[in-house]
Amino acid sequence: MITIHPTSTTLHLFPGEVEELLRQLDGIGFFDDAMLVGSWVMPLYRELFGMPYALRTLDIDFAVKIVRSATSLRSDVERILIDLGYLPSVSQSGIQRFSRESFTVEFIAHRRGGRNDGIVLLRNWNLTACPLPFVDILQRFPFRADLGTFGVVAPLPEAYFVHKLIVCQRRRETGKRDRDLEQCETISRKIDEERLAGVMGAVKFSKPVIQALRLSCAAIDFPLQALGIL
Amino acid sequence: MKVVEKDQIISGMLRDEYQRCQEMVGDLERAASALPKGSLQQRKKCYKGNEYSYYFLKYRDGVRSISKHVAEKDVEVVKEGIALRKKYEQQIKGFKSRMAYLKKILGPDV
């Protein structure tokens, strides 16, 4: 995994509450199995890769690996969040959420193919996660941002870019799709072609996914050749 | 607000945020409803020269004021439940005030 070390400006990338949360999770080794995803990776991309994007939502998402063999508790993340002042709740669809003031913490996991497995129980972290497709693209290309006293694992921007290009075409809400595309456009300006080729070469895409990539590339005026799609 | 309406990405984000708050209010209200409401009070009574005390939970159900006896062994659980419910209510209030703010920006059709 690539590790990026701090500069003076990267030491306080996140608001206090978020930094406290990330520090605690890093302390228990949560990032061995999980990574920060969603719009909260954008402050990391801005500072570490020079990809400026200011808009972010107030929900903090973590993608967690499903380790089927892990049945014993490694660390009780639910307890840690409650001790940090987060209140647990369960949505009508059974998704576990934790909220504190205006922040909401949610966990997602990779969903294979078209199978709908319902909620995934992560016994080793005492959590449940919402299974979503294409999360593995993010999980296969992590980097660790060493932020001084703690670290955060997030997907490489190129993996995030490909993931967003795909999922934005599956969005029902145009607002979210536009926002995904805007993030892609920001990343595309500073994209590392070698790393992008690495992501594209490691993942096998179905025809509908390639079609989604085509549509998204056309929307942001990104050359398909750079994705290795002709 | 016309300015926000002009930018689809920002207005979309604010609408998403409004929706998220709405969902969170629903989830938190559901979680809070499983917890005891009202306040725990202690009452002392003298009977045949001895003083006894017992706890009861006092809460409102519509216009009615209800007092419900709480067994000694359940007192701590009820106290914790009430404190937790207050935390949930505090968060619900926070999300509702955020929704009111967003509604002002996005207009009544949000």
Numbered residues of chain A with Cβ closer than 8 Å to any chain B Cβ: 55, 57-59, 87-92, 97, 99-102, 104, 173-176, 178-179, 182
Show residues of chain A in contact with B84, CB under 8 Å: 87
Assess contact for A159 and A199: CB atoms under 8 A.
Answer: yes
- Taking the Cβ of residue B13 and every Cβ of chain A, the question of whether any pair is shorter than 8 Å is answered with yes
CB atoms within 10 A of CB A179: 25
> What mean pLDDT is predicted for residues A73-86?
92
pLDDT tens, position by position, B13-32 = 888 889 889 999 999 999 99
Tell me the CA distances in angstroms from B72 to A166, B14, B54, B81, B85, one per residue in order.
58, 49, 7, 15, 20
Contact residues on chain B for A174, CB-CB shorter than 8 A: 8, 12
Average the pLDDT over A187-205 and give the result. Answer: 91
B16 Cβ under 8 Å from any chain A Cβ: yes
Query: Is this complex scored with an ipTM above 0.85?
Result: no
pLDDT score at B15: 87
Q: pLDDT tens digit string along A139-189?
A: 999 999 988 889 999 999 999 999 999 999 988 878 788 888 989 999 999
The closest of A32, A16, A55, A187 to A125, measured between CA atoms, is A32
Residue of A nearest to B22 (CA): A91
- 3-class state of residue A14 by DSSP: coil
With a cut of 70, say whether residue B2 has pLDDT above it.
Answer: no
Tell me the C-alpha distance between A155 and A36, whole Å. Answer: 8
pLDDT value at A138 more than 80: yes
Q: How far is CA A171 from the centre of its chain?
A: 17
Strand positions, DSSP E, A151-214: 151-155
Identify the structural domains of chain A with CATH numbers, from first to last.
1-155 (3.30.460), 156-230 (no CATH)
What digits encode the pLDDT tens for the residues B48-100? 888 888 999 999 988 999 999 999 899 999 999 999 999 999 999 999 999 99
Q: What percent of chain A has pLDDT over 70?
A: 95
List of chain A residues whose C-beta atoms are within 8 Å of the C-beta of residue B30: 89-90
Inform me whether the pLDDT recorded for B1 exceeds 60.
no
